[in-house]
Amino acid sequence: MIGRLQKAGWTITADPEEAETIVVNTCSFIEDAAQESIDVILELAEYKKEGACRRLVVTGCLPERYREEILKSLPEADVILGTGAFDQITKAVRGPQYSHQCVLPDPDLAQLHPHDAPRDLTAPHVAYLKIAEGCSKSCTYCIIPKLRGKQKSRQPQEIVSEAIALIAGGVNELVLVAQDTTAYGNDLPDRTNLSQLMESLAQIPIDESARAIPPWLRVLYGHPESIENSFIEALASHSRLCSYFDLPVQHVSPAVLKQMGRRYTKDDLYRLFDRIRDRVPDAVLRTTIIVGFPGETHADFEALLQFVEDVRFDHLGVFIYSDADDLASHHLSDHVPKAVATDRYHQLMSAQSGISSENNRKYIGQAVKVLVEESLDNHLFAGRTNFQAPEVDGLTYINTAKMPFGLKIGSFADMRVTDTMEYDLMGEAI
Ligand code: SF4
């Protein structure tokens, strides 16, 4: 949307006080996110009274989930665009075509992002590359298929063309995302899959005179049901592809998995993670878990905790089940009290904190490559290694005190790890 607005002649500002039009792009995946979106809208609506703002546009999943209701409860908004209407952003900010109106086309009919659509990157060295939109699975706790429609994969040549342009523009890390990345391609008429796409991306020619180190390619949001051996093989075979496996398992108890609508067993998961580690010895495993799902018993939780202690994930995200009456899981019996779910959350986080600390200690003394992202005080920079994904994993801190000059933001640097914290690494530039 930012790219489209810039192309249409708008100047983007992050300062709401000077903005003529304020656009709030919202999330409503869980209750907390929806509440945060509403709070931000109300806070920014104040600029219509006092600042330069003449128009407030609300976009994304909040209107998609709550439909016309949102217009009634947020009279401050001038235009509301659902997820299938992102391409109407230039009309929405301009007015007067839309005035106090909700635009909610079917997300299944929305145009997929074309490879040459204008883009503006938040950080010029990292780009998210969307490979599909929507999800064809039906986990009972998840609203995404309703908000984003069924899976619609982009054509591989579209994705490769966009990747080529981003790399030529200086991007050093491409993060492939979708709601269910490992299911990529199974909806296309010429069936393809994620491993074929990764092979094509790994073979993009790189101008070695312009860059000594090829960009990293990382995949997030896989699924234990749809991951194929060929994808594991692709990551094992190409150094340009990060050996990073983000596979949210959500739970391991047969009863909970059944009620969640996820079709695998705990043993399938043990076998899957063993297989990955056998084939890719430097594999980094990330997973996500939900605690307090309706019907989760003490024994279910104990099995989950044991699983986390056994697999020893490099990175773990834990979420407390978020209920809402438009979810299928809302109608299940035996909802878990919030206090019990919170206690289970803390138990898992505490177990993982010890596992992560121990995992990190193996890097002490090793030389690692770091993508430098921020300059801090006193010769200190922050960045990430290829085993740390943006936003969700820990950071790497590089001390350059012994170097005659600092580091360039967005470039790669070499570092020797001297110390570790629970989730972060520290070391000296070499
Ligand atoms: S696979 Fe992911 S996006 Fe799709 S329904 Fe399940 S949780 Fe939601």
CA-closest candidate to residue 92, choices 156, 12, 8: 8
Give the number of the atom of ligand 1 that is nearest the alpha carbon of residue 135: 4
Angstrom distance (rounded) from CA 230 to CA 152: 21
Angstrom distance (rounded) from CA 385 to CA 382: 10
Predicted local distance difference test score (pLDDT) of residue 412: 96
> Which residue ranges of the chain lie beneath pLDDT 70?
96-97
CA-closest candidate to residue 283, choices 304, 312, 307, 262: 312
Pairing of strands 55-60, 79-81: parallel
Q: Closest residue (by CA) to atom 3 of ligand 1? A: 179
Q: How far is the CA of 108 from the centre of ligand 1 (A)?
A: 16
- pTM, 2 dp: 0.93
Q: How far is the CA of 134 from the centre of ligand 1 (A)?
A: 9
Give the number of the atom of ligand 1 that is nearest the alpha carbon of residue 179: 3
Phi and psi dihedrals of 204, rounded to 5? -60, 125
Predicted local distance difference test score (pLDDT) of residue 199: 96
Q: How far is the CA of 289 from the centre of ligand 1 (A)?
A: 13
Amino acid, res. 350: S
Tokens of 265: 């067993």
Phi and psi dihedrals of 352, rounded to 5? -70, -30
Tokens of 383: 């960045």
Pairing of strands 380-384, 367-375: antiparallel
Q: Ligand 1: residues whose CB is within 6 Å? A: 135, 137-139, 142, 144-145, 179-180, 223
Q: Closest residue (by CA) to atom 8 of ligand 1? A: 142
Asked whether the beta carbons of 206 and 163 are under 8 A apart, the reply is: no
Q: Computed from CA positions of residues 179, 180, 181, 183, in that sequence, does the dihedral angle turn out positive or negative?
A: negative
